[in-house]
Amino acid sequence: MTTIGSPARVGAHDAIGPAVALAPIGLVVGALSAEVMASGAAWLTGPLLVSGAAQLALVALTTSGASAVAILVTIVLLTSRCAVYGAALSTRFEAQPRWFRWLGAYVLIDQIYVLVDSRLDELPDARSFRQYYLAGIAPMYGTWLVATAVGVLAGQTIPDEWRLELAFVVLVAVLLRGALVSRSAWIGAIVAGITTLLVGPLVGGAALLIGIGSGLVARRLA
Amino acid sequence: MSPFALALIAAPLILALRAAFVVWPERIRVPDRFRGDLEGARPVVLGALGASAVAGSGGIDVLAVILVAFAVVAAKWWSMSTVVVAGCVLIAGAAAVGL
């Protein structure tokens, strides 16, 4: 087993790419949020929800006139994938102090799950896992708060045709390339992607969860 | 109800979802028969996230395909952060030329 000499340093280094990708997305989310809320409230939805997808859903559904129940259900379904991440990492939290369990749960987002999962074998004990996790999430969380603030304040100057959300696509493509190490991984990823695309128009916020579930089943059968 | 009030209501629901297996891993346990499926789920999660991101950014088009191809090829030689920065430059360039 290979271990990391300095988990905090490696975590901070690994987080640079995801943090850079979060910046343009945070700009867009901040700008859109400011269109339906006062500036302070728009920014506060970031630390409240800690989910760009949930923030975007909140704005989009509010704009479209959806009911409060529909908006809440959509947000919960969208973020339900985080429960899957928690389940996948649960054994790594058993030896952690209470404060870190809550903090780790609060910031359990797609990017930190992917980073931590890719390094699990190199983080053998609770302390190294915690150091890597905290050092990895800090730049991402900080970038998000700053980028959404800038978006809230200066978002009107961002042209609509700038598809800044595609920065996340670039990030996922890079991470996916490193994760496709076996035939079953390929099959799982392809099935998850196609399923998410196909069921998205039908089930909205539940698409990601259904996509991940079908991908896991396909990977097991492969 | 205002969007901010909805965010206030949603926040504890989201935290509960995230905390279920993380804060009480001794009480809320993943059945052993599913544990193997969850471990190493990264490629599956990324496949779903990638598809969702492409759909949410306006769908599969020339720019999305170019960016994915660029990222996959560039990742052979460059670090993740370099590829992401270069991708952002490509996005800005595409917007500038109206692609």
Mean pLDDT of B70-79: 89
Give the mean pLDDT of chain B. 87
Q: Is B89 on the interface with A (CB under 8 A)?
A: no
* Residues of chain A positioned with their CB less than 8 A from the CB of B38: 84, 87-88, 216
What confidence tens digit (pLDDT) does each residue in A50-73 have?
999 899 889 988 888 889 998 998
Say how far apart CA B62 and CA A201 lie, in whole Å: 21
A134 and B CB contact within 8 Å: no
The alpha-carbon gap from A101 to the nearest alpha carbon of chain B, in Å, equals 5
B8, B22, B56: residue with CB nearest A101: B22
Q: How far apart are CA B53 and CA A164, in angstroms?
A: 11
Judge contact between B81 and A16, C-beta under 8 A: yes
Q: Picking from A76-90, A97-111, B20-34, which range would have the lowest pLDDT averaged per residue?
A: B20-34
Name every chain B residue with its beta carbon within 8 A of the beta carbon of A27. Answer: none
Distance CA A12, CA B71 (A): 21
CA R_g for chain B: 19
> B84, B88, B91: which to substitute to probe chain A, counting the most A Cβ within 10 Å?
B84
If pLDDT is split at 50, 70 and 90, which confidence band does A1 have?
low
Percent of chain A with pLDDT over 90: 62
Mean pLDDT of chain A: 90
Judge: B75–A216 Cβ closer than 8 Å, yes or no.
Answer: no
**Interface A:B, Cβ pairs < 8 A:** 290
pLDDT above 80 for A40: yes
Read off the pLDDT of each residue in B63-76 and give the average, rounded to a whole number: 90
How far off is chain B from A143, nearest CA to CA, in Å?
14
Q: A204 or A91, which is more confident? A: A91
Structure token pair of residue A5 = 């000499």
Q: A122: phi > 0 → left, psi -120 to 50 → alpha, else beta; which?
A: alpha
Residue type at A86 in one-letter notation: G
- Measured in angstroms, the CA of B56 and the nearest CA of chain A are apart by 8
Q: 0.80 exceeded by the pTM?
A: yes
Q: How far apart are CA B1 and CA A126, in angstroms?
A: 43
Among A153, A112, A110, A151, which residue's Cα sits nearest to residue A130?
A: A112
Interface of B with A in 4-33 (CB under 8 A): 4, 6-11, 13-15, 17-23, 25-26, 28-30
Instruction: Measure B33 CA to nearest chain A CA, in Å.
Output: 11
In the three-class reduction of DSSP (H, G, I as helix; E, B as strand; rest coil), residue B2 is classed as coil
B-chain residues near A220 (CB < 8 A): 37
Gap from A87 CA to chain B (nearest CA, Å): 5
Residue A94's pLDDT is what? 93
Amino acid at A135: A
> How confident is the model at residue A2, as a pLDDT?
67
User: What's residue B70's pLDDT?
Assistant: 92
- Counting Cα atoms < 13 Å in the Cβ hemisphere of A138 gives 12
Q: Is residue A82 within 8 angstroms of chain B, CB to CB?
A: yes
Is there a contact between B67 and A196 if contact means CB atoms under 8 Å apart? no
Q: Which residues of chain B lie closer than 8 angstroms to A167, CB-CB?
A: 84, 87-88, 91
